[in-house]
Amino acid sequence: MPISTGRSTKIYALTWRLPIIIWQFFFFVGPVLFMVAMSFFLVKNYRMTEAFEFINWYKMLTRGYFWDSYKYTILISMVSTVCAMGLAFPAAFALAFSASETTRRWAIFLLIIPFFTSYLVRTFSWFVILSEGGVVNAVLGHIGLGPYTMLNTHFGTLVGYMTLTLPLVLILQTVTMSNIDKTLIEAARNLGCKPLATIWQVIIPLSKTGLIIAGIFCFILSFGDFVAPFYLGGSQETTLPILILDTTKSGQQWPRAAVVAIMMMATLFAIAFTGIAIAYRKRKGA
CA-nearest of 78, 118, 24 to 222 is: 78
Q: Does residue 39 sit within a domain?
A: no
Residue 210's domain spans which residues?
A: 63-279
Total-model pTM:
0.89
> Per the domain annotation, does 222 fall within a domain?
yes
Q: Does 117 score more than 70 pLDDT?
A: yes
In a domain, 47, yes or no: no
Domain membership of residue 12 (yes or no) is: no
Kindly state whether residue 143 falls inside one of the protein's structural domains.
Answer: yes
pLDDT band, very low/low/confident/very high, at 6 (cuts 50, 70, 90) = low
Q: State percent of the chain over pLDDT 90.
A: 60
Tell me, what's the pLDDT at 4? 54
Q: Looking at the predicted structure, is the pLDDT value of residue 285 above 60? A: no
Classify residue 138: in a domain, yes or no: yes
Q: pLDDT per residue over 34-63, tens digit each?
A: 999 999 999 888 788 888 889 999 999 999
Residue 235 lies in a domain: yes
**Looking at residue 185, which CATH number applies to its domain?**
1.10.3720.10
Query: Looking at the predicted structure, is the pLDDT value of residue 239 above 60?
Result: yes
- Tell whether 51 is covered by a domain: no
Residue 219 confidence class, pLDDT cut points 50, 70, 90: very high
Number of domains in the chain: 1
Q: For 66-99, write each residue's pLDDT tens digit.
A: 999 999 999 999 999 999 999 999 999 999 999 9
Residue 56 has, within 13 A of its CA and on its CB side, a CA count of 30
